[in-house]
Amino acid sequence: MKVVLLEHTPHPDEVVAAAARLCYSASDIGTIRERLGGSRARDLVLKLLNLGHESPLEHVSFTFGIEEVSRALSHQLVRHRIASYSQQSQRYVKMGGFSYVLPPSIAENKEARQKFEQLMGDLQESYGDLLRVVPAEDARYILPNACTTKLIATFNARSLYNFFTLRLCTRSQWEIRALAWEMLKLAKVEAPAIFSAAGPDCWGPHGCGEGEMSCRQPPERI
């Protein structure tokens, strides 16, 4: 898995703080921003998070480049609707000799790994055979969920919070959970105040929301 932060809104703390302050100020936007110098923007962002006033977070965005992840992951990722995605097309990009993700539980089991890798090899060969006689858009029907893909994904900060709450939970699927950790680490470097409270439900003031399905093993904070 490779994850990079391609772009983000410049001065994210100031943008969020200015958006929040604007709602209650008669001043023009330039004056509001001037008054948010030093630690004032950061302090206001932390106050907003504490109060649960999340709408100003929607004014800043973060764009991630994501590679070497499975189609099984991407199918889960795009369920987060308030985000924008561009994904490598299996219709137009020929996937001959495709790479794939090997789940840890299979990698650790000798017999399972042998069967898995044999099946992947058979599918690679069959896919190549089909490409010679049918269009790629039809040959792709035999490609597995393990097949790797590439995406560029853009979230606003509020949507990212929701993503982190759901996907950093230890009950989420291992691969997308690993992606969420990498994305949070990158986002916190550029916007530490904004993402200071980001994490699974169990890190929050109300605790785990999984009820009887709770793992009761909160992940370590970063």
Full strand arrangement of the beta sheet holding 61-70: 2-8, 61-70, 148-156, 83-87
Residues assigned a catalytic role: 167
Q: How many CA atoms lie within 13 A of 116 on its CB side?
A: 18
Cα dist from 112 to 72, 104, 201, whole Å? 19, 11, 34
Q: Residue 71: what residue type?
A: R
Which residue is it, tokens 């089909």? 130
How far is the C-alpha of 20 from the C-alpha of 42, rounded, in Å?
12
